[in-house]
Amino acid sequence: MTTNDTSGRLDEAFERLHTTGPERLGRLSNHAPMVVESLAAHGQAGAVHRWLDRYQDKLEEFPDPVAPVTDADWPEALGDIRRAADWIAHFTRALAERPWRDVLADWWPRLLPGLYGAATHPVIRVGHAVRALEAEENAPRVAELAHALGYWAARHRPVSGLTALPGAPTAAESLDAVPAVRAESWAYPDRLAVVRALPVWADDVTDPGTARTRLTELVRAATHRYATHGHGEETMLVHAATAPNAVLRTLDALPRTLWAPSLHAAWTASAAVTAMYAPAEPVDYVPPARLTAEEVVERALAHGDEHVIKLTDTALDVGDERALAAALRSVELSRPLA
């Protein structure tokens, strides 16, 4: 049911949001660009500004620049959130000079190893920006890609030194095999730091077409899993599905040689989130009603929580009854947006 917003409301929303920063309180991501793109993509462009008005108190001003990021010194600025404005300016310049797909292709392999930063929100924001650009290319959407890539560069965080554990043939079984980790803090960076071992899955895939198929399988499995495991942490476990889906959405804009590495990074991210927040036991879940996709979107919008809307967006991409049940489960578990 994805539709292209021809009303201009999405582009107005992007322009409104580009005066705000990528985070608030020094650690929480600005979800608004991702949510408004989700709403516009699913026939809810008329609700974009009303939702933004509800979210307004969670927005902060755009950060101050420090020093320009250059082609010569960019590695030193990678992963430095203090340089967020500098990175966004760098990508704004790059995208003014070259087609957006060329810029994305150059930077994707540089940024991909660090997609774990900021709870995977930067790569998710890139996935939404790419979908918007593929629907219509214009200045506000190119600017959104600059903001998304800049945020990713500023929050770039690699994960290395993981011990490979035995996996399973399917994505669902491999997610079941992920060992849970526990940390004194519930915070994402502290939990990510104690992830030391993950099952391998699809690690032998090199063919681009197979990589797409397996990535699609992963998104479906992680979305379905939320219905029975989302109570482990109703917000953070959303990203086990939305992060790999952001990667999947971006594949067609990338050279095919990058598809298999993208699959491998997406699996590690999904598995790591699963390890950090998985509950002790799953629960059986039967949705309260059998709803159409349009009705699920309406429930998510009425609820308003940004993660509920984004998981619903991914569930609609998956498109089956179990995925819609996962979206309804997120409505039940999450606190509504005030």
Residue 182: its pLDDT value, please? 87
Summarize the confidence of residues 71-93 as an average pLDDT. 97
Residues 117 and 261 in one domain: no
Summarize the confidence of residues 30-44 as an average pLDDT. 97
Summarize the confidence of residues 114-124 as an average pLDDT. 97
185 has which bridge partners? none
Final residue of a structural domain among 121, 154, 187: 154
Residue 1: its pLDDT value, please? 47
Residue 6: its pLDDT value, please? 55
Residues 171 and 203 in one domain: yes
Taking only the tens place, the pLDDT of each residue in 281-325 is 999 999 888 899 999 999 999 999 999 999 999 999 999 999 999
Give pTM, 2 decimals: 0.97
Residues in the chain: 338
Establish if 2 belongs to a structural domain.
no
Establish if 61 belongs to a structural domain.
yes
Q: Cα–Cα distances in Å, from 275 out to 279, 309, 334? A: 9, 23, 20
Summarize the confidence of residues 183-211 as an average pLDDT. 94
Cβ(234)–Cβ(116) under 8 Å?
no
Residues 186 and 91 in one domain: no
Residues 103 and 19 in one domain: yes
Taking only the tens place, the pLDDT of each residue in 224-268 is 999 999 999 999 999 999 999 999 999 999 999 999 999 999 999
Percent of the chain with pLDDT over 70: 98
What DSSP element (H or E) covers 163? strand 163-165
Alpha helix (H) ranges present in 136-258? 139-154, 171-176, 188-193, 208-229, 239-250
Q: What is the mean pLDDT of the chain?
A: 96
- Is the model more confident about 3 or about 187? 187
Residues 81 and 60 in one domain: yes
Establish if 1 belongs to a structural domain.
no
For the chain, the domain total comes to 2
Residues 130 and 236 in one domain: no
Summarize the confidence of residues 33-38 as an average pLDDT. 98
Summarize the confidence of residues 207-213 as an average pLDDT. 98
Summarize the confidence of residues 160-189 as an average pLDDT. 93
Residues 283 and 252 in one domain: yes
| Res. 187 pLDDT band, cuts 50 70 90 | confident
Final residue of a structural domain among 134, 154, 174: 154
Residues 327 and 203 in one domain: yes
Residues 112 and 183 in one domain: no
Final residue of a structural domain among 129, 154, 179: 154
Q: Are strands 28-29 and 197-199 parallel, antiparallel or unpaired?
A: unpaired
Percent of the chain with pLDDT over 90: 93
| Res. 97 pLDDT band, cuts 50 70 90 | very high
Summarize the confidence of residues 48-61 as an average pLDDT. 97
Establish if 115 belongs to a structural domain.
yes
Closest CA to 171 of 268, 236, 243: 268
Establish if 3 belongs to a structural domain.
no
Residues 230 and 273 in one domain: yes
Residues 192 and 338 in one domain: yes
Residues 170 and 318 in one domain: yes
Range of the domain at 131: 9-154
What DSSP element (H or E) covers 197? strand 197-199
Summarize the confidence of residues 90-98 as an average pLDDT. 98
